[in-house]
Chain A
Amino acid sequence: MGWEEKQVRGYPEFVQTAQRYHGRPIFALFCGDKDAEGRSWCPDCVTAEPVVRKELHNMPDESVFIYCLVGDRAYWKDPNNEFRKNLKLTGVPTLLKYGTPQKLVEEECFKAELVRMLFTED
């Protein structure tokens, strides 16, 4: 069956999508919003995205990859935003395996071997 990608924006849409695919392995990449030209305000996210995308084929069958834009810079900087409070995110980009403590934060997302390890480790 392979894997499929879902693109969402904001916390409620993320939770809704994750719940819909409950039971399947869910991986999520959280990035800062992109402008009209498709560039994110978060430079690390710009670096990480192609690295992560290149490794997606390593995800187990039936996986769901959720690409989630968290919001604008001001929203992200607010220490009480829903991603920080409920998902305990500490930075963007964050790549995580939903429902597990396994995640990669910021520069860790630049490293292909770490991304691959996240997608393939038990």
Chain B
Amino acid sequence: MAALQRRRLLGVSGLSRTVRALSGKNEYDLLVIGGGSGGLACAKEAAQFGRQVAVLDYVEPSPQGTKWGLGGTCVNVGCIPKKLMHQAALLGSALKDAQHYGWNIAQPVHHTWSVMAQAVQNYVKSLNWGHRVQLQDKKVKYFNMKGSFSDPHTVRGLTKGGKETIVTAENIVIATGGRPKYPMHIAGALEYGITSDDLFWLKESPGKTLVVGASYVSLECAGFLTGIGLDTTVMMRSIPLRGFDQQMASLVTEHMESYGTKFLKRCFPTKVEKLESNRLQVTWKNTDLGTEETDSFDTVLWAVGRAPDTETLNLETVGVKTNSETGKIIVDASEATSVPHIYAVGDITEGRPELTPTAIAAGKLLAQRLFGQSSELMDYDNVPTTVFTPLEYGCVGLSEEAAVQCYGSDNIEMVCLRERAQRILGLHFIGPNAGEVIQGFALGIKCGATYPQLMKTVGIHPTCAEEITKLHITKRSGLDATVTGC
């Protein structure tokens, strides 16, 4: 049956890749579809074992026409540009504080979007180039093509110009990641709004911006836009940072509000229209007051979730199962899909964190298991992460809500189990450099640190991180936890 399909396809496309059909041998040991964090890590690791590896990477332009080079979401429209712009905003705050420390800096300080954007974009392009050099150096074949399955060992790659190449491989890893969602039921959303795919590549300032969504993407973007001096509003339908500890999420949004970001809580947009002035008129419903309100903005940024990029892969043809609700690819603990020799890593996989470090680690371990005689599986427990809002929030382990659900509220005291050893289940920190702070504590959690051990750890003074070693007031006690002395 498969042989019949293959011959039919070759007849239709008329290509010269008849080698496999004749000899039955696959061209590559590994084909990776998707050149992002997970895909590239897997490909480069496999190449270390002397294997024939190929990578397909293709960026479908956003509805607004934005596109970028090799490296995936993190490098081009995620972590990297985000952190740089967050840093730009933090520097703005530092400049304001600087005068109190004796620096002569004319106030108010002004920010020029295009200078920042160009620097960020150039840096990202240097990373694209760096990946190209690395792949070439490690002898990984790179195709700038959009891939789709013809059969479980054959992928059809299509260039922008429509040129086709057939690639066959013994093992295939799907690492195509995700793209931002557009709210399709809101009139004008698609034509007039942008997403994070576009924000970092804007040549001109977004101006007065409405960010719709309560995700970390929404809050981080709104945070740095406010920080560089732009009139910014966040519109949220319900709670901020769903899935994160809610006590911390409130602290994050409260700080943003006091820092200048406007919040439209319990509101959802109903339509977006373009005005003669080229501004955008947004109409929304306020569910608390039951009223309809409207305002105009220069930019509307949708941050309402991300969808897995599987539509054009042709997964049904080869039988790779996806989750019917999320559309993500279902994998087991070894990143295997429902089809032998086809694997998936990164944002495309169901039930995994949508993070770069986990995708990279999973990709590397997969390559080691496939070609390096390893049997080590990826450990997705206690993955630390940080939300880079103006007041950063870093965490590792369980949120209070998750811990209560897991162990019952009688057994939870702040972030640890009450009984016996009082193992720490989760640590949550809000403050400057939260990511730097939590990284070290993540090791402690991995080693099974307990509350008594934490109390025995001496703090470094003066720092923010030392407060973690002094946590002694419980929520249950009702006492005020505010620190006053030194």
Contacts and interface: CB of A to CB of B under 8 A. Distances in A.
Interface of A: 100-104, 108, 111, 113-114, 117, 121
In this complex, the interface size class of chain B, counting residues with CB under 8 Å from chain A, is under 10
A114 B136 contact: yes
**Chain B binding site: helix, strand, loop or mixed by DSSP?**
helix
Nearest to B126: A101
Interface string B135-172: 01100000000000000000000000000000000000
Contact of A101 (B122, B136, B137): B122
A93 to B, nearest CB: 15
A108 B125 contact: no
Nearest to B122: A101
Interface of B: 122-123, 125-126, 129, 132-133, 136-137
A104 B133 CA distance: 8
Q: Sort A-B residue pairs by CB-CB distance and give the 5 closest, nearest first.
A: A101-B126, A101-B125, A102-B129, A117-B136, A101-B129
Nearest to A121: B132
6 contacts: A101-B129, A102-B125, A104-B133, A111-B137, A113-B136, A117-B136
Nearest to A111: B137
A117 B132 contact: yes
Nearest to B142: A117
A114 B123 CA distance: 20
B15 to A, nearest CB: 23
A87 to B, nearest CB: 13
Contacts of B136: 113-114, 117
A104 B126 CA distance: 11
B126 A114 contact: no
Given A100-B129, A117-B133, 12 more contacts: A101-B122, A101-B125, A101-B126, A102-B125, A102-B126, A103-B129, A104-B133, A108-B137, A111-B137, A113-B136, A114-B137, A117-B132
Contacts of B125: 100-102
A103 B125 CA distance: 11
Contacts of A114: 133, 136-137
A111 B133 CA distance: 11
Contacts of B137: 108, 111, 114
A111 B134 CA distance: 12
Nearest to B125: A101
A114 to B, nearest CB: 6
A102 B69 CA distance: 13
A103 B127 CA distance: 11
A56 B437 CA distance: 50
Contacts of A113: 136
B87 to A, nearest CB: 19
A103 B129 CA distance: 8
B137 to A, nearest CB: 7
